[in-house]
Homo-oligomer: A and B are copies of this chain.
Amino acid sequence: MTSYQPGTRSKLKRAHQRAAYDYETVHAAFDAMPMCHVGYVIDGQPYVTPTIQWRQGNHLYWHGSSASRMIKSLKDGAPACVTVSQFDGFVMARSPFHHSVNYRSAMAFGTCHSIEGRDEKEQALFEMFDHLFPGRWEDVRGNTEKELKATTVIVMEIEEAASKIRNEPPVDDEEDYDGVDCWAGVLPIVSKFTAPEDDPKLRQGIAFPDYLKGFLP
């Protein structure tokens, strides 16, 4: 299988021409945007918490303080929805109704567990770090036992997922192209890295490392 099976939770009801379920598209959405929004339920109340996710195969991972509400509520088999989105611009149509936004998004559904076992947790944290910042692990000091204990890693196997992308000019009603005297187009938004800021406490003589050059503007 190279695609998620559209299911009750993931099958798009609206604008299904913008939907994709294949691994390549869904995984690309998660890989392109580390900041995600995790949805979970406590006593019937939904919560949405932003956090950093990373992906390996069909699994999403995130971590947090073992004392956090999100982590405590998810670590023993709770359902979650993890959504990533990038807001790429406003789509300005000739009618209010056809105004829209361009975006790249994906939603994944699954059941969460904490990674048990000291070594397994240490390995998962290393993989997160090495995935986000290849080459940096050798530069920083390692985790202490106390830090490991204070951290919980959550893993969610993706049971269902869908990507939804809009990336095009306005789509107006046919008669409005000629009938409405109105500028139409896209107001694009771009997110990018800008010049790195040294820690004000950085000791002299420590240069910005080569392995982070991918984060330069």
Contacts and interface: CB of A to CB of B under 8 A. Distances in A.
Nearest to A138: B182
A45 to B, nearest CB: 5
A202 B92 CA distance: 11
Contact of A190 (B96, B101, B194): B194
B169 A93 contact: no
Interface stretch (A20-28, A54-62, A75-83, A113-121): A75-83
Given A186-B197, A189-B194, A39 B47 contact: yes
Given A48-B38, A94-B141, A185 B169 contact: no
A12 to B, nearest CB: 9
- In the complex, the 9 A-B pairs of residues with the closest C-beta atoms, listed nearest first: A39-B46, A39-B48, A48-B83, A37-B37, A184-B199, A50-B85, A97-B147, A35-B87, A191-B191
B46 A80 contact: yes
A81 B206 contact: no
A109 B49 CA distance: 12
Contacts of A99: 129, 133
Contacts of A184: 198-199, 201-202
A80 B198 CA distance: 40
A191 B193 contact: no
Contacts of A82: 48
B182 A68 contact: no
